[in-house]
Amino acid sequence: MATRDYKREYAIRSKKDRDNRQHRRVARRLLQKRLGIKRLRGKDVDHKDKNPRNNSRKNLRVQSKSKNRSNNY
């Protein structure tokens, strides 16, 4: 079984992808503070305009994982 070279994989991934991932994490933490952790169990945080960098209060909503991950945007 071959081992993965995580350092190489991280270097290949673009900075934009890493930044978007970071902003998605921030959005989840914002909603956890606002709504509480229990309301987010088994759910995803969705950006209405599909821009993960826009974490304004009006742009965030909670959706089921199946509905949010089936969007092909």
70 pLDDT above the threshold of 80: yes
DSSP letters along 5-37, please? -HHHHHHHS-HHHHHHHHHHHHHHHHHHHHH-S
Single pTM value for the model: 0.73
Q: When comparing pLDDT for 73 and 19, which is higher?
A: 19
Report the chain's mean pLDDT, rounded to a whole number.
89
pLDDT at 2: 82
pLDDT at 73: 60
* SS3 label, residue 63: strand
Burial 35-73 (b: 16+ CB within 10 A, else e): eeeeeeeebbbbbeeeebeebeeebbeeeeeeeeeeeee
8 pLDDT above the threshold of 80: yes
